[in-house]
Homo-oligomer: A and B are copies of this chain.
Amino acid sequence: MSRIRLGMVGGGNDAFIGGVHRIASRIDDRFELVAGALSSTPEKSQASGAALGLPRIYDDFKQMAQREARRKDGIDAVIIVTPNHVHYAAAREFLKRGIHVICDKPLTSTLADAKKLVKAAEDSDALFILTHNYTGYPMVRQAREMVANGDIGTIRVVQVEYPQDWLTVEQDFKQAEWRTDPARSGAGGSTGDIGTHAFNLACFITGLEVESLAADLTAFVPGRQVDDNGHVMLRFEGGAKGMLWCSQVAPGNENALRIRIYGDKGGLEWAQEDPNYLWHTPFGEPKRLITRNGAGAGDAAARVSRIPPGHPEGYLEGFANVYTEAADAIMAAKAGQDAPADVLYPTVHDGLKGVQFVSACVKSSARNAAWVKLDH
């Protein structure tokens, strides 16, 4: 099976997430990175590309899109890992040339951009895959499958949270800088950077849509221009209720994304930092600890697991699962076929919902936590 040829926009020397995408794309050997426009200036792009030994290095994403589109052996797909405000402009160039896009979250920095990007994706024959990577964890798949199977009954309550602590004090390194700049990150701070992950995870597992929310956002660190803590109450279509907490000022929390879902027959609990475990709590029976590839785990998890139970898979493997799903979809597309029915990845529409979530949070908070509909 030949490898899918990849380009990368962003992800230069000092960007954390670029390296993650590169490893994730390699793990299952389905992709080959052959081109890049890795930084915001031609000089830095060249330097970063050379450091990686890339065959083809471009000054900027537009140049890359144009030239790769013309090559016979041009890239099949592009990874976009720039700061958020560049996502739309970059994605557009590739989509309109039929090059598949694998894009980091959140979809865009503004709701207007998000809507334009949805249009661009809909108008294109190319696929758009959004790397809400937590959806790739096997036990997240297991949870989704169990909900769909009715194992916990009708969902009533969803508690999801994503606390971190790295912005507890003012930080001035690059990762912190653009993430706390509304012009590049978007109007949401913690809500955009990690709240969107929590929101997406809740919807992905439950299969429910959030109807409206009430948010109380705060910037605790003096001078910070975007929220570093978000308290959000959720109302789901159909009557379930939820709470979402995201924070970057909660000392002792590294990436403590955690979700708990309760239905009228039982509950499910999962934590990103210990991702190989899923608690299932059927009402009136002892709690059960389901492990990745272990007894009690089903097909949806097995499909995206590589190694035996008790040998932990982690963040990179979960991320790699999104890439492998993308590979299956892209290979099908190249063959003019639909993706297999079990291929599952976050779409541009999920991305729009995430930006709507941020926008609704900001709007609600500005109105003293009044309820705001998601598609306001």
Task: Determine if A286 and B296 form an interchain contact, defined as CB atoms under 8 angstroms apart.
Answer: yes
Partner of A156, one of B16, B161, B220, B272: B220
Partner of A306, one of B19, B249, B250, B276: B19
Task: Determine if A285 and B274 form an interchain contact, defined as CB atoms under 8 angstroms apart.
Answer: no
In the bound assembly, the distance between CA atoms of A235 and B14 in angstroms comes to 39
Contact digits for A210-229, partner B, Cβ 8 Å, 1 yes 0 no = 00001010101000000001
Partner of A312, one of B249, B311, B315: B315
**Which of A157, A169, A262, A286 counts the most B-chain CB atoms under 10 A from its CB?**
A286
The stretch from A21-29, A93-101, A335-343 touching chain B is A21-29
Task: Determine if B371 and A368 form an interchain contact, defined as CB atoms under 8 angstroms apart.
Answer: yes
In the bound assembly, the distance between CA atoms of A311 and B23 in angstroms comes to 14
Within 8 A of B (CB), among A239-259: 241-243, 245, 247, 249-256
Answer whether residue A49 sits at the interface, using C-beta atoms and an 8 A cutoff.
Answer: no
With A23-B306, A307-B316, A316-B306 given, is the CB distance from A288 to B286 under 8 Å?
yes
**Which of A22, A252, A274 counts the most B-chain CB atoms under 10 A from its CB?**
A252
Answer whether residue A266 sits at the interface, using C-beta atoms and an 8 A cutoff.
Answer: yes
What residues of chain B lie closer than 8 Å to A260, measured between beta carbons?
250
Within 8 A of B (CB), among A296-329: 296, 306-317
Answer whether residue A132 sits at the interface, using C-beta atoms and an 8 A cutoff.
Answer: no
Task: Determine if A289 and B291 form an interchain contact, defined as CB atoms under 8 angstroms apart.
Answer: no
Partner of A252, one of B164, B279, B314: B279
Task: Determine if B231 and A252 form an interchain contact, defined as CB atoms under 8 angstroms apart.
Answer: no
Q: Which residues of A contact B (CB under 8 A)?
A: 1, 16, 19-20, 22-23, 26-29, 53, 152, 156-157, 159, 161, 164-165, 168-169, 214, 216, 218, 220, 229, 231, 233, 235, 241-243, 245, 247, 249-256, 260, 262-267, 269, 272-276, 279-291, 294-296, 306-317, 368-369, 371
Q: Can you name 24 A-B pairs with beta carbons within 8 Å?
A: A19-B306, A20-B306, A22-B29, A27-B316, A156-B220, A159-B161, A159-B245, A218-B241, A247-B262, A249-B264, A251-B267, A251-B281, A252-B266, A253-B267, A254-B310, A256-B310, A273-B312, A276-B314, A286-B288, A286-B289, A286-B295, A289-B289, A307-B315, A311-B314
Given contacts A229-B241, A273-B276, A286-B296, 5 further A-B contacts (CB under 8 A): A23-B27, A252-B281, A255-B310, A307-B315, A312-B315
Of all A-B residue pairs in the complex, the 4 with the closest CB atoms, nearest first, are A254-B310, A252-B281, A255-B310, A314-B314
